[in-house]
């Protein structure tokens, strides 16, 4: 019963995405579609970061690093998969094959970003507050410097897989939102499970949580891995949207942008993170002409927000689906 309901919803969703994708292709200019895709990628970034920064309360300032790992790993996998399968400039894969290649690449992106999340999280999540922020900030810089100095990955000029036209642009509306919905559902369900409750308990009082028999270190590392993997997928989608990735795409301002998203939406709220992601996606685009002032604008925005609504737009609450769309759940509603 539940299974058939889920299947029906999934099929309807895929059909819907496919339809919208087609309509956007036909009737909407690329520029707008691009902004919509950016917002989708931002939503993955924000929901991913929110799991560790908002729900678990472990402040990471270095998620651009995980995004970079995901971007490079995805691009590397897609390029090598293509040459292994014999695709090249004169033998371009069919559209469905492009999406498949991209998705396989994204799995690699998630895997490597998740591993990075494990490597950074396992030793550093023992730290608290400011110390953790500094360690994660340092990690992101180290990642950026590694990519800058690895000639095989293009060094400072960026990675294009040795293609004169850059990375294949396989990211489209359909795949961005398919992955976004998949990951947001996954992280949403995790957040509202008993594991998610344990993560919130860690945010509230770590010692009390540990005393209740919960392995808080393991829970924090688990949250870090899931968070990093999701952000890695967003990085991979970003890479194949831009057609090129440079180490400088993943500087601190990218981490700050992610933090602004979840602060705007409300720390700890999944739906808030999505709203914040869309907000930042749109304002970033609006500020394209004054690029150099972006960090300044963010600061002003944050100061304004802290004065007017310190808990963010939604606080820690969630927007919920209207009742007729909600599926009955056993126990906690």
Partner 1 sequence: MTDALRVTDLKVNYGGIQAVKGISLTVGRGEIVALIGANGAGKTSTLKAIVRLIASQGQIDFFGATAGGRATHQIAALGVSLVPEGRAIFGNMSVRENLEMGAFLHRDALERKHHMERVFALFPRLAERLKQDGNTLSGGEQQMLAIGRAMMSQPKLLLLDEPSLGLAPKLVGEIFAAIRVIAADGLSILLVEQNTRLALKTAGRAYVLVTGEVALSGNAEDLRDDPRIQSAYLGGDTTRSNG
Given the complex with partner 1, which of 11 and 212 has the nearer CB atom?
Answer: 212
Question: How many Å apart are CA 272 and CA 316, to the nearest integer?
Answer: 8
Other C-beta atoms closer than 10 Å to the C-beta of 220 total 24
Instruction: Please state the closest distance from residue 319 (CB atom) to partner 1, in A.
Output: 18
Question: How many Å apart are CA 333 and CA 329, to the nearest integer?
Answer: 6
Question: How many Å apart are CA 270 and CA 203, to the nearest integer?
Answer: 16
Q: How many chain residues interact with partner 1 (CB under 8 A)?
A: 20
Instruction: Please state the closest distance from residue 321 (CB atom) to partner 1, in A.
Output: 21
Using the structure block, give the residue that is written with the tokens 């914040």. Answer: 276
Q: Does 201 bind partner 1 (CB under 8 A)?
A: yes
Q: Does 310 bind partner 1 (CB under 8 A)?
A: no
Q: Does 123 bind partner 1 (CB under 8 A)?
A: no
Per the rule left: phi > 0, alpha: psi between -120 and 50, beta: everything else, 213 is: left
Q: Which span sits near partner 1 by CB under 8 A: 64-72, 96-104, 205-213, 273-281?
A: 205-213
Q: Does 318 bind partner 1 (CB under 8 A)?
A: no
Given the complex with partner 1, which of 17 and 198 has the nearer CB atom?
Answer: 198
Given the complex with partner 1, which of 212 and 306 has the nearer CB atom?
Answer: 212
Dump the DSSP string for 223-285: HHHHHHHHHHHHHHHHHHHHS-B-GGGGSHHHHHHHHHHHHHH-TT-HHHHHHHHHHHHHHHH
Write out the two tokens for 95.
């559209």
Residue 83, helix vs strand vs coil: helix
Angle in degrees, 0-180, between the axes of helices 270-286 and 252-265, rounded to the nearest 10: 130
Instruction: Please state the closest distance from residue 13 (CB atom) to partner 1, in A.
Output: 31
Instruction: Please state the closest distance from residue 220 (CB atom) to partner 1, in A.
Output: 12
Q: Does 311 bind partner 1 (CB under 8 A)?
A: no
Interactions with partner 1, residue window 181-200 (CB under 8 A) = 194, 197-198, 200
> Do 118 and 111 contact (CB within 8 A), yes or no?
no
Residue 214: φ, ψ to 5°: -100, 130
Q: Does 15 bind partner 1 (CB under 8 A)?
A: no
Q: Which span sits near partner 1 by CB under 8 A: 88-96, 112-120, 206-214, 278-286?
A: 206-214
* Selected binder of partner 1 within 21, 50, 191, 209 (CB under 8 A): 209
DSSP code of 166? -
Instruction: Please state the closest distance from residue 230 (CB atom) to partner 1, in A.
Output: 24
Q: Does 210 bind partner 1 (CB under 8 A)?
A: yes
Given the complex with partner 1, which of 58 and 244 has the nearer CB atom?
Answer: 58
What residue ranges bind partner 1 (CB under 8 A)?
A: 194, 197-198, 200-201, 203-205, 207-216, 316, 331
């Amino acid at each position: 019963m539940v299974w058939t309901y889920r299947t029906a919803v999934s099929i309807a969703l895929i059909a819907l995405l496919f339809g919208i994708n087609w309509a956007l292709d036909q009737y909407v200019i690329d520029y707008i579609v691009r902004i919509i895709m950016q917002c989708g990628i931002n939503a993955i970034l924000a929901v991913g970061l929110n799991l560790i920064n908002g729900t678990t309360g472990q402040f990471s300032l270095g998620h651009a690093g995980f995004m970079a790992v995901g971007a490079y790993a995805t691009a590397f996998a897609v390029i090598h998969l293509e040459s292994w399968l014999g695709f090249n400039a004169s033998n371009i894969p069919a559209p469905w094959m492009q999406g498949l290649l991209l998705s396989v690449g994204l799995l690699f992106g998630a895997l490597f970003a998740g591993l990075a999340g494990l490597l950074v999280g396992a030793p550093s999540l023992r730290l608290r507050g400011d110390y953790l922020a500094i360690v994660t900030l340092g990690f992101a810089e180290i990642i950026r410097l590694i990519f800058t100095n690895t000639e095989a990955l293009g060094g400072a000029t960026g990675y294009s897989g040795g293609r004169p036209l850059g990375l294949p642009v396989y990211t489209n509306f359909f795949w961005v939102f398919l992955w976004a919905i998949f990951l947001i559902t996954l992280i949403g369900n995790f957040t509202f499970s008993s594991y998610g409750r344990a993560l919130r308990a860690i945010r509230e009082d770590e010692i009390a949580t540990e005393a209740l028999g919960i392995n808080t270190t393991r829970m924090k590392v688990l949250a870090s891995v899931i968070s990093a993997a999701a952000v890695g997928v967003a990085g991979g989608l970003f890479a194949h949207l831009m057609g090129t990735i440079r180490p400088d795409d993943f500087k601190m301002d990218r981490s700050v942008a992610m933090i602004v998203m979840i602060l705007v939406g409300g720390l700890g709220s999944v739906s808030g993170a999505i709203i914040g992601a869309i907000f930042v996606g749109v304002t970033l685009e609006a500020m394209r002409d004054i690029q150099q002032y972006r960090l300044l604008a963010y600061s002003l925005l944050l100061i304004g927000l802290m004065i007017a609504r310190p808990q963010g737009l939604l606080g820690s609450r969630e927007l919920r689906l209207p009742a007729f769309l909600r599926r009955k759940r056993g126990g906690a509603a």
